[in-house]
Amino acid sequence: MKFDHFQFLMGNMFQAGTDAKIPSKYEEIVPQHLHPLVLAYIGDAFFSLYIRTRLLFFEQNKVRVLHSYDAQMVSAVMQALAYKALEAELTQEENNIVKRGRNAKSKVPKSATVGEYRYSTGFEALLGYLYLSGKRERLLEIAEKAFLAISREMTKTDKDSGEIK
């Protein structure tokens, strides 16, 4: 971030109680105009919170266990898998958002292939778009279906060893 951009943020965004208008909700945010990586940033935060909350139905005492499952479930590999499981159920508009996110250029971590990372970014962009658009019912429907698809994948038995993945 450039220093003058940082100064602008400090002068306008973070000074509550001044004359700067701080939106109370998202009335001034137009999700269609946001960069897909910004949508993915919001979608990532939503999906992480959704998964963490959803895991509380299974475990409420062991933070290490919760974190272990959460980290696996929100990984790029699992999000790409979830997207592919849901792809046929998405509307044309939703697929367009995924495509925008998938095509956005970003650095790919070593923990996933380029394809997995691109699809997970597209999936997160879709979640961010739905969240900021106020489409809560559809957002929760997609998040739950993704949770189930990821859960099924994680509990598949390895045919060779008989161990849970």
Q: Is residue 120 a part of any domain in this protein? A: yes
Q: Is residue 42 a part of any domain in this protein? A: yes
Spell out a b/e string for 52-67, using b for 16 or more CB atoms within 10 Å of the CB, else e. eebbeeeeeeeeeebe
Which of the following is catalytic: 4, 19, 44, 158? 44
Helices (H) and strands (E) in the chain, counts: 7, 0
- How many Cα neighbours within 13 Å face the side chain of 145? 17
Q: Is residue 96 a part of any domain in this protein? A: yes
What's the alpha-carbon Rg for the chain, to the nearest Å?
A: 18
* Domain around 150: 36-154
Query: Looking at the predicted structure, is the pLDDT value of residue 103 above 70?
Result: yes
Q: What is the pLDDT of residues 17-48, one digit of tens each?
A: 555 555 555 557 888 889 999 999 999 999 99
| pTM beyond 0.85 | no
What's the pLDDT at 73?
A: 92
What does residue 57 show for φ and ψ, rounded to 5 degrees? -70, -20
Q: What is the pLDDT of residues 42-94, one digit of tens each?
A: 999 999 999 999 998 887 788 888 888 889 999 999 999 999 999 999 999 99
Q: Is residue 140 a part of any domain in this protein? A: yes
Q: What is the pLDDT of residues 141-165, one digit of tens each?
A: 999 999 999 999 988 844 445 555 4
Number of domains in the chain: 1
Judge whether 44 counts as a catalytic residue: yes
Query: Looking at the predicted structure, is the pLDDT value of residue 125 above 70?
Result: yes
What residues have CB less than 8 Å from 82, skipping those under 6 apart?
Answer: 123, 145, 146, 147, 149, 150
Q: Is residue 50 a part of any domain in this protein? A: yes
User: Of residues 116 and 112, which shows the higher confidence score?
Assistant: 116
What's the pLDDT at 158?
A: 45
3-class DSSP assignment, residue 131: helix
Rounded distance, CA 46 to CA 128, Å?
Answer: 7
Say which CATH number the domain at 113 has: 1.10.1520.10
